[in-house]
């Protein structure tokens, strides 16, 4: 079936889809990214207000409110800030079947979660 045919695995561990499923996949990804940007913008604004920063929005919130595109690096940095401050928890889905989804998961762990040197030292009793 052409709409669900898997062409195989491309370099970098990402699967490629063929035919009319491509347009639906791209539309779904764009919708999910827009929802992520909106959520990050809202969390940034809430965090600014909670810290007593007034109504100043974060970078993502400013771009979102101005209906400007948000660069991927800026979005990733905002998600990392929110995760490190325990405001948000990045959640990913995937499957290790045939190795699909493992590399993006590992990349997300490195991008969003703190390293051992970024955590406070444990308190010993």
End-to-end CA distance of the chain: 62
Higher pLDDT, 68 or 21: 68
With CA atoms as reference, report the closest residue to 62 among 44, 46, 77. 44
Nearest C-alpha neighbor of 89 from the set 56, 40, 34: 40
Whether the pTM exceeds 0.75: the reply is no
**pLDDT band of 2, cuts 50, 70, 90:** very low
pLDDT tens across 66-109, in order?
999 999 999 999 999 898 888 888 888 777 777 777 888 889 88
3-class DSSP state of 15: strand
Check: CB of residue 33 under 8 Å from CB of residue 39. no
Q: Give the separation between CA 18 and CA 111, rounded to whole angstroms.
A: 30
Q: Name 12's Cβ contacts closer than 8 Å, sequence gap at least 6.
A: 103
According to DSSP, the residues that pair with 17 across neighbouring strands are 6
């Amino acid at each position: 079936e052409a709409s669900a045919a898997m062409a195989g695995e491309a370099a970098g561990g990402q699967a490629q889809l063929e035919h009319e499923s491509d347009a639906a996949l791209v539309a779904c990804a764009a919708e999910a990214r827009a929802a992520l940007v909106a959520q990050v913008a809202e969390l940034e604004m809430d965090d600014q207000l909670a810290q007593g920063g007034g109504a100043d929005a974060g970078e993502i919130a400013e771009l979102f409110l101005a209906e400007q595109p948000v660069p991927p690096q800026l979005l990733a940095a905002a998600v990392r800030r929110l995760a490190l401050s325990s405001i948000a928890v990045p959640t990913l889905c995937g499957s290790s079947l045939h190795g699909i989804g493992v590399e993006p998961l590992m990349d997300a762990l490195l991008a969003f979660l703190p390293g051992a040197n970024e955590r406070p030292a444990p308190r010993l009793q």
